[in-house]
Structure 1
Amino acid sequence: MNAAEVVKSLLVQRFGIPSAHLNAETPLRSLRLDSLALEELRVLLEEQLDIDLEEVSLTPRNTVGQLVAAVDGVAA
């Protein structure tokens, strides 16, 4: 699975977000992901992809696309 697939899968399965609401331009805040949910998502991504996202700064203002790009940048 690539980063985009893992992010989408986690958002759908763990956070109950309908996949129809997920596209690269979707702000994380519109998915009702607060800072605590983003931290949980960070930990899940680190575990599933065996990467370290500690240096990645994400806020609810970021988009799904920015999240995927940040994960791709670390995983590369």
Structure 2
Amino acid sequence: MNAAEVVNSLLVQRFGVPTSHLNDEAPLRTLRMDSLALEELRVLIEEQLDIDLEETSLTPRNTVGQLVAAVDGVTP
């Protein structure tokens, strides 16, 4: 799976985000992703893609597209 597939899958399956709400411009806060949820999501992404996102800084103000770009930018 690529970064977008992993992120979208986790948002839907683990955080209950409706697929109709997922698009690159959607701010994470509108998907009810607070800082705690983002930390959990970060850990899940790291586990699924075997990468380290420790240096990646994301807030609920970031968009889904920015999250995917940040994940894509990390070398496994």
Name the TM-score, length of structure 1 as normaliser. 0.98
Distance 1:58 1:75 in 2: 17
Moved over 6 A (4+): none
Name the TM-score, length of structure 2 as normaliser. 0.98
Distance 1:67 1:19 in 2: 16
Q: Which amino acid aligns with 1:13?
A: Q
Q: Which residue of 1 aligns with 2:65?
A: 65
Distance 1:26 1:73 in 2: 20
Q: Which amino acid aligns with 2:39?
A: E
Q: Which residue of 2 aligns with 1:48?
A: 48
Distance 1:8 1:20 in 2: 11
Q: Which residue of 1 aligns with 2:5?
A: 5
Distance 1:33 1:71 in 2: 17
Q: Which residue of 1 aligns with 2:33?
A: 33
Q: State the secondary structure of the residue aligned to 1:61.
A: coil
Deviations 1:41-68 (A, max 9, x none): 0000000000000000000000000000
- Stretches of structure 1 lacking an aligned partner (at least 5 in a row): none
- Aligned sequence identity (%): 84
Number of equivalences: 76
- Stretches of structure 2 lacking an aligned partner (at least 5 in a row): none
Distance 1:8 1:32 in 2: 14
User: What is the RMSD of the two structures over their aligned residues, measured on CA atoms?
Assistant: 0.9
